[in-house]
Amino acid sequence: MFRLALIFIFSVVSGLAGAESLTTNSGSARVTAMVKGLDTPWAIGILPDMSFLVTERDGELLFVSKGNIVRVKGTPNVVAKGQGGLLDVTVARDFSQSREVFLTYSKPQPKGAGTALAIARLSEDGSELTDLRTVFEADNGGDSGRHFGSRIVEAKDGTLLVTIGDRGDRPTAQDRSSHNGSVIRVNRDGSVPADNPFVGQQGIQPEIWSYGHRNPQGAGLDARGHLWVSEHGAKGGDEVNLIRPGRNYGWPVISYGKHYSGQTIGEGTAKPGMVQPEFYWDPSIAPSGLLIYSGKLWPEWKGDLFVGSLKFDYIARLEGIPLTEVEQIKGPQTERVRDIVEAPDGSIWFVSVGQGTVFRMTPSD
């Protein structure tokens, strides 16, 4: 109770203090702290009325509306270990009718924990989740606290796409009998879509949409409905990938990075049948959170990708063919950017783990 009261005080103070600014290539942007005092925040989900949900990795879900903060009851039981815990939150497109939200978390399993997807309804006052049901969980968890992936994207057809890391067990990213190192696709009730690429193939998990991923922690749809992900490499080799069904993205057979020991990874940087990244960083920026912007408030940014950096404390803006990093939006507010989303009004919101704060960015007048 004390911690929640402290957060409330911080949120009121931030509002009184007024907005700060960040310099971008399109001029100065206004940056407003929407809530402060968060404990390892991971994700935000913005509701149609501009109230919002924030996950904290230790298992807390907070509902923030008009300066009031409520700890939401009824969240799933999580294994808060290492990188695991309560992770992503995504608001359903039909929220105004269904009041449903999607959550990913590290679910307790006999051998440790695995990435899981749950769906629940948010009460009218935002204080409680009801009808919580886990509709998917990775089959091959383990006791490692690493590489849960865990972004959720609602595809244009209503299916749900979830990223899953290799859990620190590199070879499993090439083993399609395991969900590790994959993007999975399920229907909203957890059933497997009939047009998934590996349905009916013996020894392959039918939920797999793509595989050969290391730890994808950013994901978003472009205007055509195609999925893009940003994923952590090892020492170098962080990637942005355009996801196609059934494709192999190479980890750990190919990579532009090296092992932390300095040794070469796998067989080099390319191999027939394995997809090349649309863009990669070397040195690594530790990417987490990916947004493809609509252009609503900044028309010049329409279709651009925004990716948060946990390591170098900035927001990368990428554009063009071939994809290129054209800008680094950086300031005290961008300390360890974990998530970045677009709100219904076109503003850009991001989570700073280093600041324990959710920020909202808009053009300056």
The set of catalytic residues is 147
* Secondary structure (H, E, C), 217-269: EEEEECCCCCEEEEECCEEECEEEEEECCCCECCCCCCCCCECCCCCECCCCC
Q: Please report the beta strands in 39-95, taking only residues with DSSP state E, as ranges in sequence order.
A: 41-46, 52-56, 61-65, 68-71, 86-91
What is each CA distance from 113 to 61, 80, 117, 142, in whole angstroms?
A: 19, 10, 13, 6
CB 106 within 8 A of CB 78: yes
Pairwise CA distance, residues 317 & 306, whole Å:
5
Q: Which SS3 state, helix, strand or coil, does residue 274 take? A: strand
Closest to 227 in 3D by CA, of 215, 244, 214: 244
Nearest to 214 by CA among 229, 224, 228, 226: 229
**Looking at this protein, which amino acid is placed at residue 246?**
G
Q: What is the Cα–Cα distance from 298 to 315, expressed in whole angstroms?
A: 16
d(CA 168, CA 180) in angstroms, rounded, equals 9
Alpha carbon 21 to chain centroid, angstroms: 25
Handedness of CA 318, 363, 48, 11 (dihedral sign): positive
